[in-house]
Amino acid sequence: MIESSPRPQLAWIGLGALGAPMAHNLLQAGHALTVFNRTASSCEPLQAAGARVAGSPAEAAREAEVLLLCVSDDRAAEAVLLGPEASEAAIHGLQPGALVIDCSTISPGTSRRLGAALAERDIRYVDAPVTGGTEGAKAGTLSVLVGGATEDLDRARPLLEILGGSITHFGPVGSGQEAKAVNQVLVAGSYAAVAEALQLAKRLGLDRQQVVSALKSGAAGSWALEHRSAQMINDHYPLGFKLALHRKDLAIALEAAEAQQLELPVSRLVAAMEDALLADGHGDLDVSVLARWFRS
């Protein structure tokens, strides 16, 4: 049985655009960290910063009091944590009493299934998806949306405070993912609105940067206008959050709404716009590439 210590041994799985800087922040805070990523080369910067690299999720988890992960989707989360029998999944390395903090964005139902499967081995689980983009991941100012037992959040909080500027507990396992679905609906609407407004400004012959400067502090101000309008104006979309991943998240939100017999017309429209952009090969660009929809 693992007992929590003041500075627990950590493992991290998933070193993408968000996961890598989040893991780095834990290293910088002085935590011993073992990392695993399916593409091994992604581990090299963390290894250079002092992390140990594992050859499998099970190996990463073996000595960990707390395992954190940030992977791309439901399938990846299930494979990393549970996998098939006799696999190298993390469940085969985690000890009773360990805590899993899942920062991935997945469906609430999958989070509940993962939590239940881990609980059978006396392994605790919280879903803790984040929002705030790569900027927030690097700065440690993400908003963390938590579902899980209060005592598990209490144990996770010192680590989450390194990663995020705000931590909100919404209820039992799965409720953090439900809050993230709400977030992705807002992202869909706000990014599409900025793209649409900038296209109107362009057609009217206005200086779009001047428009942004004039409006961002007023009623039309938003995170998307502040942080993504320049990318839309310049038609250059360095990765903050992949369009393909947002489309996956929007599907989760639409499914949740359908279960509640709620129509989300704006989200459905944005989903169709994203589908068109995905078909044109823009899936690996930032979500702000929504602006390119208007070019077609």
Report the chain's mean pLDDT, rounded to a whole number.
95
pLDDT digits (tens, 9 = 90+) for 117-152: 999 999 999 999 999 989 999 999 999 999 999 999
13 close to 69: Cβ distance less than 8 angstroms? yes
User: C-alpha angle 11/90/108, rounded to 5°?
Assistant: 95
By DSSP bridging, strand 52-53 and strand 33-36 are: parallel
Q: Where are the domains of the chain?
A: 10-172, 179-295
What average pLDDT score do residues 70-82 get?
96
CATH class label, 179-295:
mainly alpha
What average pLDDT score do residues 38-52 get?
96
pLDDT digits (tens, 9 = 90+) for 194-226: 999 999 999 999 999 999 999 999 999 999 999
| CA torsion through residues 41, 50, 128, 145, sign | negative
User: C-alpha angle 209/191/233, rounded to 5°?
Assistant: 30
What average pLDDT score do residues 174-188 get?
98
Is 1.20.58.100 the CATH classification of the domain at 10-172? no
| CA torsion through residues 29, 34, 38, 44, sign | positive
User: What does the DSSP assignment read for the chain?
Assistant: -----SS--EEEE--STTHHHHHHHHHHTT--EEEE-SSGGGGHHHHHTTPEEPSSHHHHHTT-SEEEE--SSHHHHHHHHT-STTSS-GGGTPPTT-EEEE-S---HHHHHHHHHHHHTTT-EEEE--EESHHHHHHHT-EEEEEES-HHHHHHHHHHHHHHEEEEEEEESTTHHHHHHHHHHHHHHHHHHHHHHHHHHHHHTT--HHHHHHHHTTSTT--HHHHHHHHHHHHT----SSBHHHHHHHHHHHHHHHHHTT---HHHHHHHHHHHHHHHTT-TTSBGGGGGGGGG-
Q: What is the pLDDT of residue 86?
A: 62
Predicted confidence (pLDDT) at residue 6 exceeds the cutoff of 90: no
List the catalytic residue out of 138, 180, 216, 248: 180
Annotation says 242 is catalytic: no
Cα distance between residue 62 and residue 93, in whole Å? 4
Task: Return the higher-pLDDT residue of 86 and 241.
Answer: 241
User: C-alpha angle 236/165/242, rounded to 5°?
Assistant: 30
1 close to 96: Cβ distance less than 8 angstroms? yes
Q: Does this model's pTM top 0.75?
A: yes
Cα distance between residue 94 and residue 174, in whole Å? 21
Cα distance between residue 193 and residue 199, in whole Å? 10
